[in-house]
Structure 1
Amino acid sequence: MISWNADQNALREGVAQWCDALSEGHAERDAAAVFPREQWKLVQRSGILGLPFDERWGGLGQSLLTTMYVLEELGAGCRDGGLAFSVATHLTGVGVPLERFGSHTLKQRFLPGVCSGGTIGAHAITESGSGSDALAMRTTATRDADGGFVLRGSKSFVSNGPVADVFVVYARTHPDGGPFGISAFVVERNTPGLTVGAPVGKMGLRTSPLSELHFDDCRIPASAVLGRVGSGFLILDHVMKWEILLAFIISTGQMRYRLDRCVEYAKERTQFGQAIGSYQAISHRIVDMKIGLETSRKWLYDTAVRMTAGENVTTDISISKVIASESALASAQAAVQIFGGSGYLTECGLEKDLRDAVAGPIYSGTSEIQRNRVASMLGL
């Protein structure tokens, strides 16, 4: 069991103080599917965006575990699930690869803005034709006469895309290189040849805007390469570990919020002369919510401990992702069912949680992909 110290608890309590303001108007923003610019400014002021980054870039220099501990509280207190998802995408999609693999010049240029939130980040991986099969991507980056690269192709499902100022783009630099034929690039929004598509409507996480990116002879300098040419797949593997840990620890906070609401409601709501929590059908469903929450938290935090220690967590990450994403979805569906007709109404807020949770088993590698990876690690 992890013991949290006074400094970690203070950081967590500090974020909790912002959550009411971050949640204000969340239902209206979700209905309109608009990015919450004013709330993003509050996120900037809270310091959340600098948590895991070095102080020299304006960060707070906190560990992975501390960052997760604080973000869990964001999930519990902030009712705007799309905003919380955009925070995770910003941190992991651009900040994490920049600090771990970026040159000093790239860090100096972009990390201060990432830490402050003045520069919004997104990463571009998925393509409509390849989906979860990242090695099948067709977007290319070819050398030009000046030693730079020319990007050609398109990306889909780019979270934060419509509002991002900088992107980490993964593209094929060698047609037959397999995992070593992919490279990662830092691309600014105003780069000629890059077109950001209009926001795409979606089921949930509506305040976290989604779009396509199109690259039409988009020229970028050689200095835009993250790490080395051909190291993109290794970078992506590192990024996805962080993305799963941060995005789904936020989900556990959301699960905790729903559990607390359901326990309170089950004690107060009466049917046929007694509190509905006295009925086994309801109490067992709430117990399953508790089990899902605690199992998810344990897998995520234990995996983070092992990853920090430098251990191989390929299997652990996949198991954590399956458990946390599917438990979050089950939790959201159970909450709607426990609240009955009220849970189905928009004003209750739980139907929005359910729509948001449906995405969990899909993004960051589908549940099917994660199970395939575990099977492969078992030698199957």
Structure 2
Amino acid sequence: MNTDDFREAWRSAAGDGLAGLCVPSRFGGGGLGAWGTAERVEAFGREHHDLGLVFGVMAHLLACAMPVAEFADDALRAEVLPRLCSGEWIAGNAITEKDAGSDTSKLSTTAVRSGEHYLLNGEKSFVSNATAADVFVVYAVTDPALGYLGISALLVERDSAGVTVGEPLPKLGLAGCPAAVVRFDDCQVPVTSLIGREGAGAAVFRASMRWERTCLFAAYLGAMDRVLGRTVEHARTRRQFGRPIGANQAVSHRLADLKVRVEAARALLYRACAAMDRDEVSDLDVAMAKLAVSEAAVEVGLAAVQIFGAAGYAGDGAVDALLRDAVGSTIFSGTSEIQREIIAKELGL
């Protein structure tokens, strides 16, 4: 999808209110809680076959708009959030680096205070929405001596001097969300663009991941419902050796097990969302939800391709797209291994 097509699709999604679902209404958002946001995102994923676009809009909302809504001062909120919610601005989350993926404490991008500006230098990889983005939420080291307490979050406009956006990166899936490398070379960022206080970047990122690991992954629940429904229908109607393939226990039991797995993942995700709305959510709730949904999505995608057989392997996007999109879901927003580490830690191991 080229940039113009992406922007057109983006405007359509923003026009439906999806770019600001959980942003407070006083800033132009929908004012929804986590549960209500997840319900809308699940429907978005069920009805929209391009999970890349769904991912891009949710990365904009949950990893960019919500940090501003929850941590920025009133002046920055008033300036930025109405533009993000309306779709006038597209945002990209810039935290991942070549040598700092899961280990976000090892960022090499720096922001050095100089008067009323920070001088930003570094390179971010796999920045979602990058080629179409108008603004970035950038995480950088402001005090190397303080470790994770020395990381800060900054809002950086794309047209700022020193910002260079690379070409779209090739990806296995989520083709509808352009990702690219973004470089910052002596980029001057006003101190007023700080999201939260200096050194609060780790807390900002952790909060954004709670939103992303729950509400964004609701899109995969919708996509799994759609693909599983198509696969069940195929098993009913596709005949081999004189009977529907769904009459074979190997097929019917696999689909039954997948239905249970999807519903269990749904229960974990909405339990986490309900806890968020009560301000009682734990890292355990979020990690279990993210792990369950992402790994179920891979299993549903793989089963759909195998049950459709040659038609699934043909790669026309009818069912294989979920498998390609789902593989990434076990990597971004914290890998499955990271989620298991969090769960183990919460269990006291």
Confirm or deny a common fold (TM above 0.5): yes
Q: 1:34 to 1:359 in 2, by over 3 A?
A: farther
CA drift at 1:34: 8.1
Which residue is equivalent to 1:105?
Answer: 75
Judge conservation of contact 2:287–2:339 (CA < 8 Å) in 1.
yes
What SS does the corresponding residue of 2:316 show, helix, strand or coil?
Answer: helix
Once structures 1 and 2 are overlaid, which stretch shifts more, 284-293 or 167-176? 284-293
Q: Which runs of 5+ in 2 are unaligned?
A: none
SS at match of 1:346: coil
Task: Compare 243-252 and 311-320 and name the one that shifted more.
Answer: 311-320
TM-score (ref. length: structure 2): 0.97
> What residue in structure 2 maps to residue 75 of structure 1?
45
* Residues 366 and 179 (structure 1), Cα distance of their counterparts in 2 relative to 1, 3 Å cut: same
Structure 1 distance, partners of 2:177, 2:22, is 22
**Match of residue 240, structure 1, among 197, 209, 220:** 209
Deviation readout 1:155-213 (Å, 9 max, x if unpaired): 11111111110111000111121221110001000111111111111111111001111
The runs of at least 4 consecutive aligned structure 1 residues that moved more than 3 Å come to: 32-35
> Aligned pairs, how many?
349
Question: For the structure 1 residues 175 and 348, does the alpha-carbon distance in structure 2 shift closer, same or farther, using more than 3 Å as the test?
Answer: closer
Counterpart check, 1:202 vs 2:171: yes
The reply on whether 1:337 has 2:306 as its aligned counterpart is yes
Show the counterpart of 1:49: 19
Helix, strand or coil at the partner of 1:217: strand
Deviation track 1:227-277 (CA, whole Å, cap 9, x = no partner) reads 100111001000001011122100000000011101111111111111111
Instruction: Output the CA distance in 2 between the equivalents of 1:156 and 1:42.
Output: 27
C-alpha RMSD of matched pairs (Å): 1.4
Higher relative contact order (CA 8 A, sep 6+): 2
Give the CA deviation at 1:377.
2.1
The one-letter code of the counterpart of 1:51 is L
Alignment of 1:316 with 2:282, yes or no, is: no
Tell me if 1:376 matches 2:329: no
1:332-354 per-residue CA deviation (whole Å, 9 max, x = no partner) reads 00000111110111335212221
**Which residue among 199, 205, 225 is the counterpart of 1:256?**
225
CA displacement, residues 300-343 of structure 1 (integer Å, 9 cap, x when unaligned): 10011112212241111111111110100110000001111101
SS of alignment partner, residue 204 of structure 1: coil
Change (3 A) 1:130 1:348: closer
The letter of the residue matching 1:175 is P
Counting only pairs closer than 5 Å after superposition, residues 358-373 of structure 1 correspond to structure 2 as 358-373=327-342
Rounded Cα–Cα distance in structure 2 between residues aligned with 1:58 and 1:310: 23
DSSP 3-state at the match of 2:145: coil
Overall identity of the aligned pairs, in %: 42
